[in-house]
Structure 1
Amino acid sequence: MFQTDGDVNTELLRAAAAEANRNYKIQSNDVLSIRFYTNKGEILVDPNNFLRQELMQSSGGGGRMGNQQIGQQQERQDYLVFPNGEVKVPMIGFLPVAGLTVAQADSLFQSRFETYYRDTYVYTQVINRRVVVLGATGGSVIPLPNESMNVVEVLALAGGMPANGKAHNIRLIRDIASPMPIVQVIDLSTIAGVQKANLRVMPNDVVYVEPFRRVFNESLRDALLVLGAVTNVLTSYIVIKDIVN
């Protein structure tokens, strides 16, 4: 599975990793978690309004009040980025976000909500970023909670390096659905191999840990399958022969 003769398109991998370092760009079909707050996010640091009550008391109750907070403990709201790159947000409608970093999207949402609320604070996360781990680990989908995760962290989340896995032959595959996927063979068995490899992962990467082949077990299994098929044929032949006779 995923056999290669050494590294494939290593330079493209390095270029893609360098681009990733400039921050993840929102894409179509991403799912965004967007939280909106007023008064510069006051509710985040003063969830029980203690600070506001103290200010009101010290000013004799005549302190200037800002906009009413958008919920005391606001639940997470998830929004899908449509194939055209737009996301539909309550009150402000459709906004183009594909190609923007999360920080740029925050600024865009904030500027639009300023029409309705004063000193808006917006916090956005991309919650569907993930990496697929296959091979000796058995297979799992690992969410990426941040933008700086590496292969070692992903393998740890997948259960660690399995005993039947080849630590010297791990493949990091990027753009697997494209006509020319980017592949890097990673050697985690030595410090030199770790230092040489580009371990940075990106959303939708595939990490494949090649398992050790147990030739004897595989050959025995195949032989048993053939023997079983031959036995079934002979049994059927004998039964039919007895019926005929």
Structure 2
Amino acid sequence: MFQSDEPFRHLEESANDVAANYLIKPNDRLELQVYTQKGERLIDPEFELVENARDIENARPKLSYLVRKDGMVKLPLIGNVLLTEKTLSEAEKFLEEKYAAFYNEPFVNLLYLNKRVTILGNSTGTIIPLENENMRVAEILALSQSIDNDAKASNIRLIRDNEVFLVDFSTIEGFAKSNYVVKPEDIIYIEPIRRPFTEFMRDNGSVISIVASLLSLIVVVSTVN
């Protein structure tokens, strides 16, 4: 274990980007807050007689809503709605339209309550919910399917707050020593194996295709002449 260094500080921003693009899935738990007047007043019919806003917030029970296997969530007033395959932002806009039938200019805030780990590095980013206590790095990587021929199994980083733990799964000894128990909000960074030629072809494939087509055309014209 060693202190977090500069190259890994940007990963927190990357993790936030992954979270923002996360699509709601079955078994997710969501917290819902609905406001009127575009956020001016928190809707809370059961506590309308409480005058102090802080007292209202203290009295309010923290309710969570489960996303069922069919993708439906049962919410107050609007009943069952389909929220799977939407980002939190998309779901908020969708619910604002639903609650507009009951409230004037509703403002919806959704929070994702599941404990989770973010995987970065060898993919576009993945969020893995912690469904059990004491889950280890190997289980998280297996669920995310992040270890392949393009990943460095010897250079995996477990990032927790300001600490970075080196994980080496390239040997049995390394696996035994570094298969740490993960905690909520951990970030696992898998260093990708750089393949310059493959990356060049992927990034410039369209240009290469155009050039190849032009060369083929030139050859055909030259042959005809």
TM-score where L is the length of structure 2: 0.41
Structure ID, larger Rg: 1
TM-score where L is the length of structure 1: 0.38
